[in-house]
Amino acid sequence: MEKSIDTPGFAEKLIRLIYPAKCMVCDEIINEDSEVYLCETCYRLLPRCGRGFFKTPNIPYVDGLFAAFYYEHGIDEAIQTMKFKYHPRLSATFAFLLAEELMKEAILPDIDIILPVPMHSSKKRQRGYNQTELLAKELSKLLNIPMDNNILKKLRKTRPQSLLKREERLKNMDDAFGIANKDAVKSKNILLIDDVTTTGTTLNQCAKILNNHCSGRIYAAVIAIAEK
């Protein structure tokens, strides 16, 4: 497995002596110097999507969706951990895996800027972080593409999409997003980043508002796709 995440520092190594690092899928203890939270077996068995960038009618405002994995076989639980428990190295692991799958593409779209799907300010204050922002930040380093988390804004609080049916999800996200700096996206090719997508409603609403001010292409990439 190729490595490209910064080597753990002394403090983290000390913590790992007390709390050993474990594979994010099977909980097997891994080497303290491991740069990704995966054992070799689980790495090989990851449920890779392998579809490249594809168009889907559910997300008409996105020119191409890329999903690294299917939302199953341990990937789902690891994403939930990243969402609700502050774990920067887990975000870095997922960024590495997403970048690795993207780099398998014969032709990568020409991307000018990476934008994470935003979280409402009150929710971010409550949780202390936006996991998608952490993911996008690490991916930006790996792909050497600038990331900006101040362009897309969540304008209002919404109910968790995972609790809603498809029709409810569409209504839930209506007019939920806005752009703080329209000039910053005017002629850019954009890569939207989210952790997981099911119906694509959130990504489509973000792309829709961007499409009103952007003459470039709008792509989206997620760690996993949950197909129902």
* Count of domains forming the chain: 2
Task: Please check whether residues 155 and 187 belong to one and the same domain.
Answer: yes
Domain extent at residue 30: 7-45
Residue 2 lies in a domain: no
* Strands (DSSP E) found in the chain: 64-70, 113-116, 152-154, 177-179, 190-197, 218-225
Backbone angles phi, psi at 43, to 5 degrees: -60, -45
Residue 73 lies in a domain: yes
- State the pLDDT at residue 91: 92
- State the pLDDT at residue 142: 96
Task: Please check whether residues 35 and 53 belong to one and the same domain.
Answer: no
- State the pLDDT at residue 4: 44
Residue 1 lies in a domain: no
What single DSSP character describes residue 60?
T
Give the pLDDT confidence of 76-111 residue by residue, as tens digits: 999 999 988 888 889 999 999 999 999 998 788 999
Token readout for 132 is 């998608």
- State the pLDDT at residue 7: 52
What single DSSP character describes residue 42?
H
Task: Please check whether residues 17 and 106 belong to one and the same domain.
Answer: no
Task: Please check whether residues 143 and 156 belong to one and the same domain.
Answer: yes
**3-state SS assignment for residue 123:** helix
Residue 95 lies in a domain: yes
Q: Distance of CA 138 to CAs 126, 133, 190, Å?
A: 22, 9, 17
- The predicted model scores a pTM of 0.86
Give the pLDDT confidence of 180-195 residue by residue, as tens digits: 988 999 999 999 999 9
Q: For tokens 């168009």, what's the residue?
A: 55
Task: Please check whether residues 78 and 138 belong to one and the same domain.
Answer: yes
Residue 166 lies in a domain: yes
Task: Please check whether residues 21 and 55 belong to one and the same domain.
Answer: no
Residues of the chain with pLDDT under 70: 1-19, 159-173, 228
